[in-house]
Structure 1
Amino acid sequence: MNSHITSISTAVPKYKVGQTQALNFMAGVNDMNEAQRHDLEVLYRATGIDTRYSVLKDFTKSPEESEYFNKISLPTTAERLKLFRTEALNLSLESTNSCIAQSGIKKEEITHLITVSCTGLNAPGLDIDLIYKLGLRHNIERLAINFMGCYAAFNAIKAADNICKSSDAKVLIVCTELCSIHFQKGTDEDTLLANALFGDGSASLLMESKPSINQSLQIIAAHCDLLPAGEMEMAWGVGNFGFEMKLSSYVPDIISTGISTLLNKHNQSFDFYAIHPGGKKILKVIEEQLNISKEQNIQAHEALRNYGNMSSPTILFVLQSIFGNLKNADSGKDILAMAFGPGLTLESLTLKVNINA
């Protein structure tokens, strides 16, 4: 049997935060002087981001008006994870209900559920909460993929691919991240960069052994690799006051050296590209290595501009943009998808467009 992606849906929280609003909040909470604020403005302009979304209203206000983050104290990790359980479920329900509705299948037909997140953990977890709220079968097979970061959706897809190839399955994948609840005060490079890039979002997709609709993306091949030189340049740890990101400015340069390894494994040309928009510079170096134009990678740039980096669901926002705009003439065309994360990890997938008009 083969495996096919037959439905992709996305969702973002209700609070839309302009990059200038985010900048003002960051500068205010850190009491930045004029020189520091100027440097911060340069960083925020360079991100390629216009807007992001958050489950918190704080970033649309001044620090003095903030309900959650302020100049005096920060919420503990326990307080943040309590917020995650409620808000992640609400956002996940939005993306999953839409995904299932678009697929045309019944909820009781879903055989497996895979949840993905690196911004919150609890037990019983998001998987069990979704089963009860969605009305899925209580004996559904479950898998939780946690704390892998931006490339985690690829591991979920590969797990679903193996499931679909071994049985007649319908696998629901849910990637939900609330990066904004882990906001950190501070003016060090890692903190400034993380606060400038990350936002909240959820994406759900359905994978089937036998497509129930006439348009699908067939999984052809998957590859992964590690770049030891970047092992400590991107990391995600649990602190006393939220999860803490380490994101070095050297990451784009390290990624560029590893792209050739993935290209040698795939050894073909592609019609579409779905690249995880980890940042504007990352997209630029990848385009140079792939020898493609910005226009050929426009879906990634649009996702970055409109939503920022949402960690694991971001690549699915890019893939949905491609999937939702396919035409009959695109049947048989190939897609290369890539993402990167702590480790430093490189993940890639090749997919083929199937449209039965």
Structure 2
Amino acid sequence: MSHISAIGTANPSHRFSQSQIADFMTRAMQLSYEDGRKLRAIFNASGISHRHSVLEDYGRSGEFTFYSNAADFEPFPSTSKRLRFFKENALNLSYAAVQNMLGQRPGFDLKSITHLVVVCCTGMYAPGLDVDLVKTLSLSTNVQRTGVNFMGCYAAFNALKVADAFCKADVKAKVLVVCTELCSLHFQKVATEDNLLANALFADGSAAVLVEGETTATPRLRLESFCNELAIEGEGDMAWAIGDLGFEMKLSTYVPDIIKSGIARLTATLLKNIGSDISAIRFFAIHPGGRKILESIEDALGIDKEKNAPAYRVLKNYGNMSSPTVLFVLKDIFDGLTPEHNDQPILSFAFGPGLTLESMVLRIETE
């Protein structure tokens, strides 16, 4: 068996309202009056109040430090410039998430970590973030390192599957999973439908999770079952590519409908594996890819907004941070657990390119 025994999160210090970001993007994208209204309508309908970024420019009206101060924002930052900034900022944010995680496990010895799994789709370099974390956290130099890269918003599920496999192979395994994304580095100023949607949603954040084969820590979450589905018909509706001026997001308005059409079947398969049904689920940890995605899942599964409240809180306060986002939702639930929740299941979902639908059931243990 494997258990999540601690979850930590962190965000950059720069926090902006949707209105502030909309002001910046209206100017940077050089939008017409009509397109500016369209952008603000998308922002207002997003369900997001604030987002965090490693860039201070999104709250400025001039004297930018990352983007050009020319009226047309040219030269626009190259991919190499964005990735240099990623390297300069990803480690500190990841470290902060790990420290936040350790607050739930006072006295835990990081030297006992046997495996490190690092997740990211918004930046890369080598030697990478995994090596930097080994040095900064003073982990053992023979810790086994695994990278889960460029998989998008559902990648935390694959990291947890890897951690689960390690713990099942060795009950003494202690796996540190770190998901760090700096999505805001990849702002695109061409006024396409994809960019308008992406610019309204994505933000920066990091999450760290400790997964152990054996632990007496309480509360803890037992990783009980996983199930995934590939909706090939949505392959062209969500994508992530490396361009000359940053990473480019493909995100169509059809994504909520595609997820809605596949989520009930995926859920039925997952719950059948554990001999349960949707009526037995009290807690939901759903990746808030956007307000419409959350509403589509509620409609498909027949659940109300109250049960989905953790996802809405994360969406409102942080936006979509890609891979760490669902772990923020899980932490929201984890931090509120009491002994009366023992043996209750948590049903969790995340989605990404492919179009990929991931799901898992976790079992609460408070004894």
Which category describes the TM-score, using the shorter chain as reference length? Answer: over 0.9
CA drift at 1:98: 2.1
CA drift at 1:100: 2.8
| Partner amino acid, structure 1, of 2:219 | Q
> Where does residue 69 of structure 1 map in the other structure?
67
> Where does residue 275 of structure 1 map in the other structure?
286
1:15 aligns with 2:14: yes
| Partner amino acid, structure 2, of 1:17 | F
CA distance in 2, matches of 1:188, 1:264: 37
CA distance in 1, matches of 2:301, 2:63: 46
> Where does residue 297 of structure 2 map in the other structure?
286
Q: Pick which of 75-84 and 339-348 moved more.
A: 75-84
Q: Pick which of 126-135 and 262-271 moved more.
A: 262-271
CA drift at 1:68: 1.3
CA distance in 2, matches of 1:140, 1:100: 18
> Where does residue 201 of structure 1 map in the other structure?
205
| Partner amino acid, structure 2, of 1:72 | E
Within the candidate set 226, 230, 234, 2:230 is matched to 226
Does structure 2 conserve the Cα–Cα contact (< 8 Å) formed by 1:275 and 1:318?
A: yes
CA distance in 1, matches of 2:29, 2:218: 53
> Where does residue 150 of structure 1 map in the other structure?
153
Q: Secondary structure at the match of 2:6?
A: strand
Q: How does 1:313-332 map to 2 (within 5 A)?
A: 313-332=324-343
Does structure 1 conserve the Cα–Cα contact (< 8 Å) formed by 2:267 and 2:359?
A: no
State the superposition RMSD in angstroms.
0.9
The percentage of aligned residue pairs carrying the same residue is: 48
> Where does residue 256 of structure 2 map in the other structure?
252
CA distance in 2, matches of 1:215, 1:43: 39
CA drift at 1:116: 0.1
Count, aligned residues: 354
Q: TM-score normalized by structure 2?
A: 0.95
1:250-284 CA-partner distances (Å, limit 9, x unpaired): 00001101112212212423110000000000000
CA distance in 1, matches of 2:75, 2:363: 50
> Where does residue 100 of structure 2 map in the other structure?
98
Q: Pick which of 256-265 and 132-141 moved more.
A: 256-265
CA drift at 1:134: 0.5
CA distance in 1, matches of 2:290, 2:184: 16
Q: How does 1:45-60 map to 2 (within 5 A)?
A: 45-60=44-59
Q: Pick which of 129-138 and 92-101 moved more.
A: 92-101
1:236 aligns with 2:240: yes
Does structure 2 conserve the Cα–Cα contact (< 8 Å) formed by 1:119 and 1:177?
A: yes
Q: Secondary structure at the match of 2:111?
A: helix
CA distance in 1, matches of 2:49, 2:249: 22
| 5+ long unaligned stretches in structure 1 | none
CA distance in 2, matches of 1:295, 1:138: 45
CA drift at 1:37: 1.3
Does structure 2 conserve the Cα–Cα contact (< 8 Å) formed by 1:17 and 1:52?
A: yes
1:124-150 CA-partner distances (Å, limit 9, x unpaired): 000000000010000000000000000
Q: Secondary structure at the match of 2:364?
A: strand
Within the candidate set 164, 169, 189, 2:167 is matched to 164
| Partner amino acid, structure 1, of 2:51 | R
1:135 aligns with 2:138: yes
1:136-173 CA-partner distances (Å, limit 9, x unpaired): 00000000000000000000000000100110110000
CA distance in 2, matches of 1:212, 1:237: 43
Does structure 2 conserve the Cα–Cα contact (< 8 Å) formed by 1:100 and 1:106?
A: no
CA distance in 1, matches of 2:197, 2:64: 21
Within the candidate set 319, 339, 352, 1:341 is matched to 352
1:215 aligns with 2:219: yes
Does structure 1 conserve the Cα–Cα contact (< 8 Å) formed by 2:351 and 2:357?
A: yes
CA distance in 2, matches of 1:296, 1:178: 29
1:211-230 CA-partner distances (Å, limit 9, x unpaired): 14121000110001100110
CA drift at 1:101: 3.9
CA drift at 1:40: 1.2
CA distance in 1, matches of 2:58, 2:52: 9
> Where does residue 116 of structure 2 map in the other structure?
113
CA drift at 1:344: 0.2
Does structure 2 conserve the Cα–Cα contact (< 8 Å) formed by 1:17 and 1:59?
A: yes
CA distance in 2, matches of 1:162, 1:156: 10
Within the candidate set 85, 88, 91, 2:90 is matched to 88
Does structure 2 conserve the Cα–Cα contact (< 8 Å) formed by 1:274 and 1:335?
A: yes
1:272-314 CA-partner distances (Å, limit 9, x unpaired): 0000000000000001111111110000001000000000000
Q: TM-score normalized by structure 1?
A: 0.98
| 5+ long unaligned stretches in structure 2 | none
Does structure 2 conserve the Cα–Cα contact (< 8 Å) formed by 1:279 and 1:309?
A: yes
Does structure 2 conserve the Cα–Cα contact (< 8 Å) formed by 1:12 and 1:201?
A: yes
Q: Secondary structure at the match of 1:65?
A: coil
1:304 aligns with 2:302: no
CA drift at 1:349: 0.5
Does structure 1 conserve the Cα–Cα contact (< 8 Å) formed by 2:348 and 2:360?
A: yes
> Where does residue 78 of structure 1 map in the other structure?
80
Q: Pick which of 134-143 and 22-31 moved more.
A: 22-31
CA distance in 1, matches of 2:112, 2:54: 31
CA drift at 1:65: 2.3
Does structure 2 conserve the Cα–Cα contact (< 8 Å) formed by 1:276 and 1:339?
A: yes
